[in-house]
Amino acid sequence: MDSELHDRSYHFLNFLPNVADFLVAKHKESTLKVDEKSLYNLVTEADLKAESMILEEIQKNFPLDGILAEEGGAIPGTSGYTWVIDPLDGTTNYTHGLPLYGISVGVVETESMSPVIGMVFFPELGTYYHAIKGQGAFREKKQIQVSQTKSMRDSLFVTGFPYDRNLSLDTLMQYYKSILQKSRGIRRTGAATLDLCWLAEGKFEGYYELGLKPWDMAAAGLIVMEANGKLTSMDGNDFSIMIPSLLASNGHVHEYLLAEFEGQINRVVY
């Protein structure tokens, strides 16, 4: 198993810079075609081409693997591994000229949907993060760890808002107000993978979000776990990329955050 994981990780850590270069070049163009999948949910020609590049590389080199991709849907496989892909996390940032976007490529065990490889590239930040289950988390070649901050008062948090935010706006604002009053502050980058990778290297103490998809969590979620962070759903259940709510933390403030959500979570429309 280890050699199979290393083969996939090594291959894509060397391939993904090609996708990153494409996205940077496309970002500089003045006529980027943008479509709406739904209110607040955008897709660009860059998303579609980047995903196509990644899918072609998987099917060429690991043809028995399954694929679950944001734009292209599911392709079954027989190897026991499934790639979970977001070719451009932070599309709204991208369309507005912001550099806060990433390429997220994870591999999960197909039967359990449990992540075993995570790779996230941030083309215009000039860095990348990666992990293999049981072998630690890394920013490029440097191993990373979550922060050791133990109090809410000294913690900085980050969050995002779901595409159907208007259905649960009051609850979202209640979360925001409650945590903001007890902490050093809350940030919003607009890219879940960036939030999680920055948590993994100690920039944030906690992250929460509703309405997530498997490709938002598969790669960066593993990176957090391998950096000794803690992941659950927002109601405290075991982490799963198939559950559309996520609470990630350095572990020390996890129970404090769960207490903030208690009594609110069942009011939310996913």
Last residue of a domain, one of 86, 119, 143: 143
Taking each helix axis as running N to C, give the angle between helix 214-226 and helix 192-200, from 0 to 180 degrees, rounded to the nearest 10: 10
For residues 86 and 181, state if they share a domain: no
What is the structure's pLDDT at 107?
A: 98
Q: Which of 31-35, 80-84, 92-96 has the highest mean pLDDT?
A: 80-84
For residues 110 and 243, state if they share a domain: no
CATH number, position 54: 3.30.540.10
Closest CA to 33 of 43, 23, 24: 43
The model's confidence at residue 40, banded by pLDDT at 50, 70 and 90, is very low
**CA distance linking residue 229 with residue 238, whole number of Å:** 14
Expressed as residue numbers, the domain containing 156 is: 152-263
What residue numbers does the annotated binding site cover? 70, 86, 88-89, 216
By the 10 Å C-beta count (0-12 exposed, 13-18 middle, 19+ buried), 251 is classed as middle
For residues 177 and 50, state if they share a domain: no
For residues 112 and 163, state if they share a domain: no
What residue numbers does the annotated binding site for Mg(2+) cover? 70, 86, 88-89, 216
What confidence tens digit (pLDDT) does each residue in 229-253 have? 999 999 899 999 999 999 999 999 9
For residues 71 and 170, state if they share a domain: no
Which residue stretches of the chain are H helix? 2-27, 45-61, 91-95, 169-182, 192-200, 214-226, 254-261
**CA distance linking residue 180 with residue 231, whole number of Å:** 21
For residues 159 and 214, state if they share a domain: yes
Residue 38 vs residue 194, higher pLDDT: 194
What confidence tens digit (pLDDT) does each residue in 97-151 have? 999 999 999 999 999 999 999 999 999 999 999 999 999 999 999 999 999 999 9
What is the structure's pLDDT at 31?
A: 67
Does residue 196 fall inside a structural domain? Answer: yes
Residue 139 token pair: 């920013």
